[in-house]
Amino acid sequence: MTHRYDRTLTAAAIARVEGEGALHVRVAGRHVQEARLDIYEPPRFFEAFLRGRSYTEPPDITARVCGICPVAYQTSAYQAIEAVCGTRPGPQIAALRRLLYCGEWIASHALHVYMLHAPDFLGYPGAVEMAADHRDLVQRGLSLRRAGNAIMEVLGGRAVHPVNVRVGGFYSAPEETTLAGLRAQLEAALEPALETVSWVAGFDFPDLAVEHELLALTEPGRYAIERGTLVTSGGLAFAAAEFEQHVVEEQVPHSTALHARLAGRDGTYLTGPLARYTLNSQWLPPLATDAARAAGLGESCRNPFRSIIVRAVEIVCALEEAIAIIAGYQMPPLASVPVAPRAGTGHGVSEAPRGVLYQRFDLDADGTILGARIVPPTSQNQAAIERDLAQFVQARLSLDDEALTRQCEQAIRNYDPCISCATHFLRLTIDRT
């Protein structure tokens, strides 16, 4: 059957997302039948690479999954291995791990806010065109990213795919004087970070509130980043070891991709900045709390367009946390603790810039990896993104194809999807049949 209003739209590529994927929207008559975000999932291949490797290797191997959030992959990996082996690094190693993760948040969020997301709000096709008119703004974004990368370089050995992280701690720990030099750079970044919050808070945001259940780590007393307990806005609370009992992946009839959902729940769930802020805003440090309040954020934020404000607030948060960690830092006597292999299964979870990242490793007695599972945030968010896009398109069917395509691209970028990890195109097709 055909419809009078049937149309097929094809756009070449969506820029400014991390990675490769495709969005396909099918419209029949006046109704959206399907919005499908096809994601090619590199972690599936990494799970296969990992089998047969040594228990000491996952931090280095999984870091290669993503150039934007390697620390997240390293963190969830060492957590899982250490959970099997019963390893408990001391407080200074724990502090350095949080510091390194702060660096990744700052660098990743600065990239997304300035280079990927802000051009949408200011009417530019991309950061290059925005830079032509607003060189100072883009320079400010790059300076923030540089501050985050500086942490990664000092602690990780290099900004992309850090090499200093190991199971049990670090290969080498920085001296106090080294971190003191870093502190000055981070303190200098605070003002540009606060200006960023004010700047993005002034953008125009459409009224929108998503109803998904929200999933994030929480850690009473501080904003959860590199560890914590999983909680949802619907009242669930569970440890990393219970992740696969609560989060199930399944085939759905309308898509070739696996969808994640919370076991026993009907609706979709969302992880990432909106979830973190809504579930943990009371634990933001002082400057970030004040910045969020001044930006008009309440205790929760369920508008994906306003996620740019949350990311800006989280840059401030990560800078504050990093400065505080450096202020209290004492170089540990050993950069890592010994980790003896043990048979068993371990689970790790942390807050990647885009949301909860889960890993599981099965080890045999000599530490050989028998099985691995990686569940990145973007694949968890896929169902929620598709549902939001379907509603988004349904409300805008009167737009011509070009305008609708452009707005869909913007809506996708709200979620900062990291489809990536190696290649780089997101194609958009809208079939109006």
Partner 1 sequence: MTGPHDVVVIGIGNEFRRDDGAGPAAIERLRGRVPAGVRLVISDGEPADLVEAWAGADLAIVVDAMHGSSAPPGGLYRVTAGRGDIGGQADRGPSASSHGLGLGTAVALARALGQLPGTLIIHAVEGADFGHGPGLSDAVGAAIDALAAAVLADLRRKLT
Positions touching partner 1 (CB under 8 A) are: 13, 15-16, 42, 45-46, 49, 64, 67-68, 111, 115, 126-129, 131-132, 135, 138-139, 141-142, 145-146, 149, 158-161, 421-425
Least distance to partner 1 from the beta carbon of 49, Å?
A: 8
Residues forming beta bridges with residue 401, ordered by sequence position: none
Least distance to partner 1 from the beta carbon of 153, Å?
A: 11
C-beta neighbour count of 330 within 10 angstroms: 9
- Taking the C-alpha atoms of residue 113 and residue 275, their distance in angstroms, rounded to an integer, is 18
Least distance to partner 1 from the beta carbon of 164, Å?
A: 15
Least distance to partner 1 from the beta carbon of 417, Å?
A: 13
Least distance to partner 1 from the beta carbon of 145, Å?
A: 6
Q: Which is nearer to partner 1, 278 or 378 (CB)?
A: 378
Contact 143, 153 (CB under 8 A): no
- Taking the C-alpha atoms of residue 286 and residue 170, their distance in angstroms, rounded to an integer, is 30
Least distance to partner 1 from the beta carbon of 257, Å?
A: 17
Q: Which is nearer to partner 1, 173 or 428 (CB)?
A: 428
Least distance to partner 1 from the beta carbon of 328, Å?
A: 30
Contact 425, 417 (CB under 8 A): no
Amino acid at position 287, single letter: L
Q: Which is nearer to partner 1, 53 or 222 (CB)?
A: 53
**Which of 98, 109, 104, 18 minimizes the C-alpha distance to 309?**
109
Q: Which is nearer to partner 1, 17 or 384 (CB)?
A: 17
* Measured torsion, CA atoms of residues 300, 306, 308, 313, in degrees rounded to the nearest 10: -30
Least distance to partner 1 from the beta carbon of 32, Å?
A: 28
Q: Which residues contact 293 (CB under 8 A, 6 or more apart)?
A: none
Contact 12, 427 (CB under 8 A): yes
Q: Which is nearer to partner 1, 92 or 420 (CB)?
A: 420
Q: Which is nearer to partner 1, 46 or 283 (CB)?
A: 46
Q: Which is nearer to partner 1, 80 or 115 (CB)?
A: 115
Helix, strand and coil percent figures for the chain, each rounded to 5? 45, 25, 30
Contact 210, 302 (CB under 8 A): yes
Residues forming beta bridges with residue 22, ordered by sequence position: 38, 427
Query: How many Å from the N-terminal Cα to the C-terminal Cα in the chain?
Result: 9
Q: Which is nearer to partner 1, 232 or 420 (CB)?
A: 420
Structure tokens at 232: 């949802």
CA angle 266, 310, 428 (to 5 degrees): 60
- Report the half-sphere exposure of 338 (CA within 13 A, side-chain side): 3
- Taking the C-alpha atoms of residue 138 and residue 149, their distance in angstroms, rounded to an integer, is 16
Q: Which is nearer to partner 1, 231 or 418 (CB)?
A: 418
Least distance to partner 1 from the beta carbon of 188, Å?
A: 16
